Amino acid sequence: MSDKPGHYCGVAGMALTIDAVPFLRKSLRVIQHRGQESAGIAVFNGRVRSVRGMGLVHEVLTPHALSNIHGTSGIGHVRYSTTGSSCAENVAPIVVTTAQGEVALAHNGDIVNAVKVRQKLQAEGWAFLTTTDSEIIVRIMANELSQNPDPVRAIKNTMKIIDGAYALTLMFNNRVFGVRDPLGFRPLCVGRLQDGYCLASESAVFDVLQGEFLRDVLPGEIVEITSTGMLSHSVPALPSKAHCMFEWVYFARPDSVIDGVEVYLARKRLGRILAEEQPVDADVVIPVPDSGRAHAMGYSEVSGIPYDEGFMKNRYVERTFIMPEPIARDEGVMLKLNPIKSTLKGKRVVIVDDSIVRGTTMRRIVHMARRAGAKEVHVRIGCPPVKAPCYYGIDMKTREQFAATNRSVEEIARLITADSVGYTSISGLVKALGMQECDLCMACLTGEYPTHVTGEMMRFQKKLDV
Protein backbone atom coordinates (compact mmCIF):
# COMPACT_ATOMS: atom_id res chain seq x y z
CA MET A 1 0.00 0.00 0.00
CA SER A 2 0.95 3.61 -0.53
CA ASP A 3 -0.67 6.68 1.03
CA LYS A 4 -4.05 5.68 -0.38
CA PRO A 5 -6.40 3.07 1.02
CA GLY A 6 -7.13 0.30 -1.47
CA HIS A 7 -10.50 0.61 -3.14
CA TYR A 8 -12.93 -2.20 -2.64
CA CYS A 9 -15.39 -2.99 -5.47
CA GLY A 10 -18.23 -1.63 -7.56
CA VAL A 11 -21.49 -3.26 -8.63
CA ALA A 12 -24.24 -2.63 -11.16
CA GLY A 13 -27.54 -4.22 -12.16
CA MET A 14 -29.93 -3.78 -15.09
CA ALA A 15 -33.54 -4.73 -15.88
CA LEU A 16 -34.37 -3.34 -19.34
CA THR A 17 -36.59 -3.90 -22.35
CA ILE A 18 -33.50 -3.96 -24.58
CA ASP A 19 -30.09 -5.63 -24.43
CA ALA A 20 -28.47 -4.80 -21.07
CA VAL A 21 -24.90 -5.73 -22.05
CA PRO A 22 -23.73 -2.34 -23.41
CA PHE A 23 -25.31 -0.55 -20.45
CA LEU A 24 -23.57 -2.85 -17.97
CA ARG A 25 -20.25 -2.33 -19.71
CA LYS A 26 -20.64 1.46 -19.65
CA SER A 27 -21.76 1.38 -16.00
CA LEU A 28 -18.65 -0.52 -14.98
CA ARG A 29 -16.43 1.93 -16.84
CA VAL A 30 -18.04 4.76 -14.84
CA ILE A 31 -17.17 3.03 -11.55
CA GLN A 32 -13.82 1.63 -12.73
CA HIS A 33 -12.09 3.65 -10.00
CA ARG A 34 -13.59 1.30 -7.40
CA GLY A 35 -11.64 -1.72 -8.65
CA GLN A 36 -8.94 -2.25 -11.27
CA GLU A 37 -8.04 -5.92 -10.79
CA SER A 38 -10.90 -7.63 -12.58
CA ALA A 39 -14.26 -7.05 -14.22
CA GLY A 40 -17.24 -9.10 -15.28
CA ILE A 41 -20.90 -9.22 -16.20
CA ALA A 42 -23.61 -11.90 -16.07
CA VAL A 43 -26.83 -11.68 -18.09
CA PHE A 44 -29.92 -13.85 -18.50
CA ASN A 45 -31.13 -15.05 -21.89
CA GLY A 46 -32.86 -18.36 -21.21
CA ARG A 47 -29.95 -19.10 -18.89
CA VAL A 48 -27.25 -17.08 -17.13
CA ARG A 49 -24.14 -16.42 -19.19
CA SER A 50 -21.11 -14.49 -18.01
CA VAL A 51 -17.95 -12.82 -19.28
CA ARG A 52 -15.29 -12.26 -16.63
CA GLY A 53 -11.55 -11.76 -16.44
CA MET A 54 -8.54 -10.11 -14.89
CA GLY A 55 -7.92 -6.56 -16.03
CA LEU A 56 -9.74 -3.28 -16.62
CA VAL A 57 -13.26 -3.16 -18.03
CA HIS A 58 -12.20 -2.26 -21.55
CA GLU A 59 -9.61 -5.06 -21.52
CA VAL A 60 -12.04 -7.75 -20.33
CA LEU A 61 -15.37 -6.73 -21.85
CA THR A 62 -14.14 -6.33 -25.41
CA PRO A 63 -16.49 -6.28 -28.43
CA HIS A 64 -15.22 -9.74 -29.34
CA ALA A 65 -15.81 -11.15 -25.84
CA LEU A 66 -19.34 -9.70 -25.78
CA SER A 67 -20.31 -10.61 -29.35
CA ASN A 68 -22.30 -13.70 -28.35
CA ILE A 69 -23.75 -12.62 -25.02
CA HIS A 70 -27.08 -10.79 -24.79
CA GLY A 71 -29.92 -10.36 -22.29
CA THR A 72 -32.31 -7.79 -20.92
CA SER A 73 -31.44 -8.58 -17.28
CA GLY A 74 -27.92 -8.56 -15.88
CA ILE A 75 -25.43 -7.59 -13.20
CA GLY A 76 -21.82 -6.40 -13.27
CA HIS A 77 -18.78 -6.09 -11.02
CA VAL A 78 -15.36 -4.45 -10.82
CA ARG A 79 -13.03 -5.82 -8.16
CA TYR A 80 -10.20 -4.85 -5.87
CA SER A 81 -9.49 -7.85 -3.66
CA THR A 82 -9.79 -7.45 0.11
CA THR A 83 -11.07 -10.90 1.15
CA GLY A 84 -9.74 -13.54 -1.22
CA SER A 85 -6.63 -13.41 -3.35
CA SER A 86 -6.25 -11.64 -6.68
CA CYS A 87 -6.67 -14.45 -9.22
CA ALA A 88 -8.97 -15.54 -12.03
CA GLU A 89 -10.89 -17.97 -9.82
CA ASN A 90 -12.13 -15.10 -7.64
CA VAL A 91 -13.41 -12.88 -10.44
CA ALA A 92 -17.07 -11.89 -10.11
CA PRO A 93 -19.97 -12.10 -10.73
CA ILE A 94 -20.07 -15.57 -9.19
CA VAL A 95 -22.67 -17.87 -10.78
CA VAL A 96 -24.08 -21.06 -9.23
CA THR A 97 -26.81 -23.45 -10.32
CA THR A 98 -29.59 -24.55 -7.97
CA ALA A 99 -32.62 -26.79 -8.33
CA GLN A 100 -34.70 -23.61 -8.71
CA GLY A 101 -32.48 -21.98 -11.33
CA GLU A 102 -29.26 -20.00 -11.55
CA VAL A 103 -28.01 -17.35 -9.14
CA ALA A 104 -25.41 -14.70 -10.01
CA LEU A 105 -23.92 -12.36 -7.41
CA ALA A 106 -21.71 -9.25 -7.34
CA HIS A 107 -20.55 -7.99 -3.93
CA ASN A 108 -18.96 -4.81 -2.60
CA GLY A 109 -17.69 -5.01 0.98
CA ASP A 110 -16.35 -7.57 3.45
CA ILE A 111 -18.17 -10.13 5.61
CA VAL A 112 -16.50 -9.98 9.03
CA ASN A 113 -17.67 -13.46 10.09
CA ALA A 114 -16.70 -15.05 6.75
CA VAL A 115 -13.99 -17.31 8.21
CA LYS A 116 -16.26 -18.58 10.96
CA VAL A 117 -19.14 -19.24 8.55
CA ARG A 118 -16.85 -20.93 5.99
CA GLN A 119 -15.36 -23.23 8.63
CA LYS A 120 -18.83 -24.19 9.88
CA LEU A 121 -20.08 -24.96 6.37
CA GLN A 122 -16.94 -26.92 5.46
CA ALA A 123 -17.38 -29.00 8.61
CA GLU A 124 -20.87 -29.80 7.34
CA GLY A 125 -19.44 -31.01 4.05
CA TRP A 126 -19.69 -27.90 1.87
CA ALA A 127 -16.95 -27.38 -0.72
CA PHE A 128 -15.81 -23.97 -1.98
CA LEU A 129 -14.21 -23.16 -5.32
CA THR A 130 -12.89 -19.69 -4.41
CA THR A 131 -11.45 -17.89 -1.39
CA THR A 132 -13.93 -15.00 -1.53
CA ASP A 133 -16.61 -14.15 0.97
CA SER A 134 -18.86 -13.52 -2.04
CA GLU A 135 -19.01 -17.27 -2.67
CA ILE A 136 -20.11 -17.83 0.92
CA ILE A 137 -23.06 -15.48 0.35
CA VAL A 138 -24.14 -17.06 -2.92
CA ARG A 139 -23.78 -20.61 -1.55
CA ILE A 140 -25.98 -19.78 1.45
CA MET A 141 -28.45 -18.22 -0.96
CA ALA A 142 -28.47 -21.38 -3.08
CA ASN A 143 -29.06 -23.55 -0.03
CA GLU A 144 -31.96 -21.35 1.07
CA LEU A 145 -33.49 -21.53 -2.42
CA SER A 146 -33.34 -25.33 -2.34
CA GLN A 147 -35.70 -25.21 0.63
CA ASN A 148 -38.00 -22.47 -0.67
CA PRO A 149 -37.96 -20.95 -4.19
CA ASP A 150 -38.80 -17.42 -2.98
CA PRO A 151 -35.63 -15.32 -3.58
CA VAL A 152 -36.69 -12.54 -1.18
CA ARG A 153 -37.07 -15.05 1.63
CA ALA A 154 -33.71 -16.58 0.71
CA ILE A 155 -32.02 -13.15 0.80
CA LYS A 156 -33.54 -12.29 4.19
CA ASN A 157 -32.42 -15.61 5.67
CA THR A 158 -28.93 -15.12 4.25
CA MET A 159 -28.77 -11.66 5.84
CA LYS A 160 -29.42 -13.30 9.23
CA ILE A 161 -26.28 -15.42 8.81
CA ILE A 162 -23.74 -12.98 7.37
CA ASP A 163 -22.38 -10.02 9.31
CA GLY A 164 -20.47 -7.04 7.98
CA ALA A 165 -20.45 -4.76 4.98
CA TYR A 166 -22.20 -5.65 1.75
CA ALA A 167 -23.87 -3.98 -1.18
CA LEU A 168 -25.04 -6.72 -3.53
CA THR A 169 -26.50 -6.99 -6.97
CA LEU A 170 -28.13 -10.39 -7.37
CA MET A 171 -29.76 -12.12 -10.32
CA PHE A 172 -32.03 -15.12 -9.79
CA ASN A 173 -32.75 -16.36 -13.29
CA ASN A 174 -34.06 -13.15 -14.89
CA ARG A 175 -34.96 -11.33 -11.65
CA VAL A 176 -32.54 -8.61 -10.51
CA PHE A 177 -32.14 -7.50 -6.88
CA GLY A 178 -30.10 -4.92 -4.99
CA VAL A 179 -29.30 -5.55 -1.31
CA ARG A 180 -27.65 -3.27 1.23
CA ASP A 181 -26.48 -4.38 4.67
CA PRO A 182 -28.52 -3.15 7.68
CA LEU A 183 -25.85 -0.60 8.69
CA GLY A 184 -25.42 0.80 5.18
CA PHE A 185 -21.61 0.58 5.08
CA ARG A 186 -21.41 0.42 1.29
CA PRO A 187 -23.32 2.67 -1.11
CA LEU A 188 -25.95 1.38 -3.52
CA CYS A 189 -28.53 3.37 -5.43
CA VAL A 190 -31.31 2.89 -7.94
CA GLY A 191 -32.09 4.86 -11.09
CA ARG A 192 -34.45 4.93 -14.04
CA LEU A 193 -33.28 4.75 -17.64
CA GLN A 194 -35.26 5.27 -20.81
CA ASP A 195 -35.62 1.51 -21.23
CA GLY A 196 -35.84 0.28 -17.66
CA TYR A 197 -34.29 0.44 -14.20
CA CYS A 198 -30.74 0.25 -12.95
CA LEU A 199 -28.74 -0.37 -9.77
CA ALA A 200 -25.21 0.97 -9.20
CA SER A 201 -22.65 1.71 -6.51
CA GLU A 202 -22.70 5.39 -7.44
CA SER A 203 -25.25 7.83 -8.84
CA ALA A 204 -22.81 9.08 -11.51
CA VAL A 205 -23.69 5.94 -13.48
CA PHE A 206 -27.19 7.25 -14.13
CA ASP A 207 -25.85 10.61 -15.30
CA VAL A 208 -23.56 8.96 -17.85
CA LEU A 209 -26.38 6.67 -19.04
CA GLN A 210 -28.63 9.75 -19.41
CA GLY A 211 -31.00 8.39 -16.81
CA GLU A 212 -32.45 9.63 -13.54
CA PHE A 213 -31.11 9.01 -10.06
CA LEU A 214 -34.13 7.99 -7.96
CA ARG A 215 -32.75 7.27 -4.50
CA ASP A 216 -30.31 5.31 -2.38
CA VAL A 217 -31.14 1.75 -1.46
CA LEU A 218 -31.81 2.05 2.26
CA PRO A 219 -29.72 0.17 4.84
CA GLY A 220 -31.26 -3.27 5.24
CA GLU A 221 -33.39 -2.89 2.12
CA ILE A 222 -33.91 -5.44 -0.67
CA VAL A 223 -34.93 -3.81 -3.95
CA GLU A 224 -36.11 -5.77 -6.97
CA ILE A 225 -35.94 -3.88 -10.24
CA THR A 226 -37.86 -4.71 -13.39
CA SER A 227 -38.09 -3.00 -16.76
CA THR A 228 -41.20 -1.14 -15.55
CA GLY A 229 -40.50 -0.35 -11.89
CA MET A 230 -39.12 -1.43 -8.53
CA LEU A 231 -40.34 -3.34 -5.50
CA SER A 232 -38.99 -2.83 -1.98
CA HIS A 233 -38.60 -5.27 0.91
CA SER A 234 -36.73 -4.51 4.12
CA VAL A 235 -35.41 -6.14 7.27
CA PRO A 236 -36.01 -4.49 10.67
CA ALA A 237 -34.21 -1.14 10.90
CA LEU A 238 -31.32 -0.61 13.31
CA PRO A 239 -31.17 2.48 15.56
CA SER A 240 -27.99 3.78 13.92
CA LYS A 241 -26.13 3.38 10.63
CA ALA A 242 -22.46 3.01 9.67
CA HIS A 243 -21.91 4.78 6.36
CA CYS A 244 -18.21 4.59 5.47
CA MET A 245 -16.80 8.11 5.77
CA PHE A 246 -14.09 7.27 3.20
CA GLU A 247 -16.72 7.32 0.46
CA TRP A 248 -16.93 11.10 0.75
CA VAL A 249 -13.29 11.64 1.71
CA TYR A 250 -11.72 9.65 -1.12
CA PHE A 251 -13.42 6.64 -2.73
CA ALA A 252 -16.46 7.93 -4.60
CA ARG A 253 -16.45 10.04 -7.74
CA PRO A 254 -16.84 13.75 -6.93
CA ASP A 255 -19.93 13.93 -9.16
CA SER A 256 -21.78 11.22 -7.21
CA VAL A 257 -24.39 11.77 -4.50
CA ILE A 258 -24.28 9.22 -1.67
CA ASP A 259 -26.91 9.04 1.05
CA GLY A 260 -28.07 12.54 0.20
CA VAL A 261 -24.62 14.17 0.30
CA GLU A 262 -22.84 15.30 -2.87
CA VAL A 263 -19.26 14.07 -2.74
CA TYR A 264 -17.68 17.17 -4.33
CA LEU A 265 -19.36 19.59 -1.91
CA ALA A 266 -18.45 17.39 1.06
CA ARG A 267 -14.79 17.52 0.03
CA LYS A 268 -14.84 21.29 -0.40
CA ARG A 269 -16.41 21.62 3.05
CA LEU A 270 -13.66 19.40 4.46
CA GLY A 271 -11.09 21.76 2.94
CA ARG A 272 -12.80 24.83 4.37
CA ILE A 273 -12.96 23.32 7.86
CA LEU A 274 -9.34 22.19 7.52
CA ALA A 275 -8.32 25.80 6.81
CA GLU A 276 -10.17 26.98 9.91
CA GLU A 277 -8.69 24.28 12.13
CA GLN A 278 -5.15 24.11 10.68
CA PRO A 279 -4.13 27.55 9.34
CA VAL A 280 -0.62 28.29 8.11
CA ASP A 281 1.20 31.28 6.60
CA ALA A 282 1.95 30.36 2.99
CA ASP A 283 2.05 31.68 -0.57
CA VAL A 284 0.18 29.00 -2.51
CA VAL A 285 -2.20 26.08 -1.96
CA ILE A 286 -1.71 23.13 -4.28
CA PRO A 287 -3.60 19.82 -4.45
CA VAL A 288 -2.30 16.32 -4.87
CA PRO A 289 -4.12 15.51 -8.13
CA ASP A 290 -6.78 14.41 -8.41
CA SER A 291 -7.80 13.25 -4.95
CA GLY A 292 -6.93 16.46 -3.12
CA ARG A 293 -8.32 18.98 -5.59
CA ALA A 294 -11.70 19.75 -4.01
CA HIS A 295 -10.18 19.79 -0.52
CA ALA A 296 -7.51 22.25 -1.70
CA MET A 297 -10.11 24.53 -3.30
CA GLY A 298 -12.00 24.70 -0.03
CA TYR A 299 -8.79 25.36 1.90
CA SER A 300 -7.88 28.19 -0.46
CA GLU A 301 -11.33 29.80 -0.24
CA VAL A 302 -11.25 30.11 3.55
CA SER A 303 -7.54 30.79 4.04
CA GLY A 304 -7.33 33.38 1.28
CA ILE A 305 -4.12 31.75 0.04
CA PRO A 306 -4.14 31.50 -3.77
CA TYR A 307 -4.87 28.09 -5.30
CA ASP A 308 -2.67 26.77 -8.11
CA GLU A 309 -1.64 23.50 -9.72
CA GLY A 310 1.75 22.32 -8.50
CA PHE A 311 1.98 18.83 -9.97
CA MET A 312 1.22 17.42 -13.40
CA LYS A 313 -0.40 14.00 -13.32
CA ASN A 314 0.33 11.29 -15.86
CA ARG A 315 -2.96 9.43 -16.18
CA TYR A 316 -1.54 6.51 -18.13
CA VAL A 317 0.40 4.68 -15.43
CA GLU A 318 -0.72 2.13 -12.86
CA ARG A 319 -2.25 3.26 -9.61
CA THR A 320 0.52 3.13 -7.00
CA PHE A 321 -1.58 1.58 -4.24
CA ILE A 322 -1.92 -1.72 -6.18
CA MET A 323 1.80 -2.08 -6.83
CA PRO A 324 3.18 -4.95 -4.71
CA GLU A 325 6.75 -3.82 -4.06
CA PRO A 326 7.97 -0.58 -2.39
CA ILE A 327 10.49 0.07 -5.21
CA ALA A 328 7.74 -0.26 -7.80
CA ARG A 329 5.49 2.07 -5.78
CA ASP A 330 8.22 4.69 -5.47
CA GLU A 331 8.94 4.51 -9.18
CA GLY A 332 5.21 4.71 -9.85
CA VAL A 333 4.96 7.95 -7.86
CA MET A 334 7.80 9.48 -9.89
CA LEU A 335 6.13 8.44 -13.16
CA LYS A 336 2.70 9.55 -12.02
CA LEU A 337 3.50 13.09 -10.81
CA ASN A 338 5.91 15.78 -11.97
CA PRO A 339 6.30 19.19 -10.30
CA ILE A 340 5.40 22.47 -12.01
CA LYS A 341 8.45 24.49 -11.04
CA SER A 342 7.00 27.93 -11.67
CA THR A 343 4.32 27.27 -9.04
CA LEU A 344 6.72 25.95 -6.44
CA LYS A 345 10.04 27.77 -6.76
CA GLY A 346 10.75 30.10 -3.84
CA LYS A 347 7.24 29.64 -2.40
CA ARG A 348 5.87 28.60 0.96
CA VAL A 349 3.64 25.78 -0.22
CA VAL A 350 0.59 24.09 1.32
CA ILE A 351 0.10 20.63 -0.20
CA VAL A 352 -3.47 19.42 0.38
CA ASP A 353 -4.65 15.85 0.04
CA ASP A 354 -7.60 13.78 1.23
CA SER A 355 -5.77 11.25 3.44
CA ILE A 356 -2.49 9.69 4.50
CA VAL A 357 -2.30 6.00 5.26
CA ARG A 358 1.31 4.87 5.14
CA GLY A 359 3.10 8.12 4.33
CA THR A 360 5.32 6.73 1.57
CA THR A 361 3.79 8.62 -1.32
CA MET A 362 3.44 11.89 0.58
CA ARG A 363 7.10 11.80 1.54
CA ARG A 364 7.98 11.46 -2.15
CA ILE A 365 5.69 14.36 -3.03
CA VAL A 366 7.27 16.59 -0.38
CA HIS A 367 10.71 15.72 -1.76
CA MET A 368 9.52 16.63 -5.28
CA ALA A 369 8.30 20.02 -4.08
CA ARG A 370 11.61 20.77 -2.35
CA ARG A 371 13.64 19.73 -5.39
CA ALA A 372 11.49 22.05 -7.47
CA GLY A 373 12.54 24.95 -5.21
CA ALA A 374 9.79 25.18 -2.59
CA LYS A 375 11.01 27.25 0.36
CA GLU A 376 8.64 25.63 2.87
CA VAL A 377 6.35 22.61 2.48
CA HIS A 378 3.31 22.30 4.74
CA VAL A 379 0.95 19.33 4.39
CA ARG A 380 -2.75 19.55 5.18
CA ILE A 381 -5.01 16.48 5.14
CA GLY A 382 -8.81 16.47 4.84
CA CYS A 383 -9.27 13.24 6.80
CA PRO A 384 -8.31 12.74 10.46
CA PRO A 385 -5.35 10.41 11.13
CA VAL A 386 -5.98 6.78 10.14
CA LYS A 387 -4.97 4.62 13.10
CA ALA A 388 -6.94 1.36 13.07
CA PRO A 389 -7.59 -1.49 10.62
CA CYS A 390 -10.69 -1.74 8.45
CA TYR A 391 -12.62 -5.02 8.42
CA TYR A 392 -15.38 -3.83 6.11
CA GLY A 393 -13.82 -3.82 2.66
CA ILE A 394 -10.91 -1.35 2.61
CA ASP A 395 -7.43 -2.81 2.23
CA MET A 396 -6.08 -1.53 5.55
CA LYS A 397 -5.59 -4.58 7.72
CA THR A 398 -2.71 -3.93 10.16
CA ARG A 399 -1.93 -1.07 12.52
CA GLU A 400 1.77 -1.25 11.73
CA GLN A 401 1.25 0.16 8.23
CA PHE A 402 -0.23 3.49 9.35
CA ALA A 403 1.87 6.63 9.56
CA ALA A 404 -0.22 7.82 12.51
CA THR A 405 0.28 4.70 14.64
CA ASN A 406 2.07 5.71 17.87
CA ARG A 407 3.23 8.99 16.30
CA SER A 408 2.40 12.57 17.18
CA VAL A 409 1.59 15.05 14.43
CA GLU A 410 5.12 16.45 14.78
CA GLU A 411 6.57 12.96 14.35
CA ILE A 412 4.44 12.40 11.25
CA ALA A 413 5.79 15.67 9.83
CA ARG A 414 9.33 14.40 10.37
CA LEU A 415 8.42 11.06 8.78
CA ILE A 416 7.27 12.72 5.56
CA THR A 417 9.92 15.51 5.84
CA ALA A 418 7.32 18.31 5.85
CA ASP A 419 7.66 21.58 7.77
CA SER A 420 4.28 20.89 9.34
CA VAL A 421 1.29 18.56 9.07
CA GLY A 422 -2.33 19.31 9.95
CA TYR A 423 -5.42 17.10 9.86
CA THR A 424 -9.14 17.81 9.94
CA SER A 425 -10.60 16.85 13.33
CA ILE A 426 -13.20 14.11 13.72
CA SER A 427 -15.78 16.74 14.70
CA GLY A 428 -14.82 18.71 11.58
CA LEU A 429 -15.28 15.61 9.43
CA VAL A 430 -18.73 14.98 10.89
CA LYS A 431 -19.71 18.62 10.33
CA ALA A 432 -18.49 18.54 6.72
CA LEU A 433 -20.53 15.44 5.90
CA GLY A 434 -23.63 16.88 7.52
CA MET A 435 -24.60 13.58 9.13
CA GLN A 436 -25.04 12.32 12.67
CA GLU A 437 -21.81 10.91 14.10
CA CYS A 438 -23.66 7.74 15.12
CA ASP A 439 -24.56 7.14 11.46
CA LEU A 440 -20.95 7.11 10.23
CA CYS A 441 -18.36 4.35 10.34
CA MET A 442 -15.13 5.96 11.53
CA ALA A 443 -13.60 2.81 12.99
CA CYS A 444 -10.28 3.37 11.18
CA LEU A 445 -10.02 6.74 12.96
CA THR A 446 -11.33 5.80 16.41
CA GLY A 447 -10.73 2.05 16.78
CA GLU A 448 -14.41 1.57 17.68
CA TYR A 449 -16.27 -0.78 15.33
CA PRO A 450 -19.97 -0.84 14.40
CA THR A 451 -20.11 -4.67 14.51
CA HIS A 452 -18.45 -7.30 16.64
CA VAL A 453 -14.85 -7.88 15.56
CA THR A 454 -12.78 -10.28 17.66
CA GLY A 455 -10.20 -8.36 19.68
CA GLU A 456 -11.61 -4.94 18.83
CA MET A 457 -13.87 -2.58 20.74
CA MET A 458 -17.43 -2.08 19.54
CA ARG A 459 -18.95 1.34 19.13
CA PHE A 460 -20.64 2.56 22.33
CA GLN A 461 -18.80 -0.16 24.28
CA LYS A 462 -17.40 0.97 27.66
CA LYS A 463 -14.37 -1.32 27.64
CA LEU A 464 -12.88 -4.12 25.58
CA ASP A 465 -14.08 -7.61 26.51
CA VAL A 466 -11.32 -9.84 27.82
Q: Is 9 a catalytic residue?
A: yes
For residue 111, the Cα-to-chain-centroid distance in whole angstroms is 15
CA-based angle 67:72:78, to the nearest 5?
Answer: 70
- At 290, the amino acid letter reads D
d(CA 8, CA 368): 29
Containing H/E element for 431? helix 426-433
Q: Is the Cα torsion angle 15, 21, 23, 27 positive or negative in sign? A: positive
298: left (phi over 0), alpha (psi -120 to 50) or beta: alpha
What distance lies between CA 335 and its chain's CA centroid?
25
> What is the signed CA dihedral for 32, 34, 40, 45, rounded to 10 degrees?
-90
Q: Among residues 9, 198, 390, 444, which one is catalytic?
A: 9
| CA-closest candidate to residue 224, choices 134, 155, 140, 146 | 155
User: What's the first-to-final CA gap in the chain, in angstroms?
Assistant: 32
Catalytic positions, written as ranges: 9
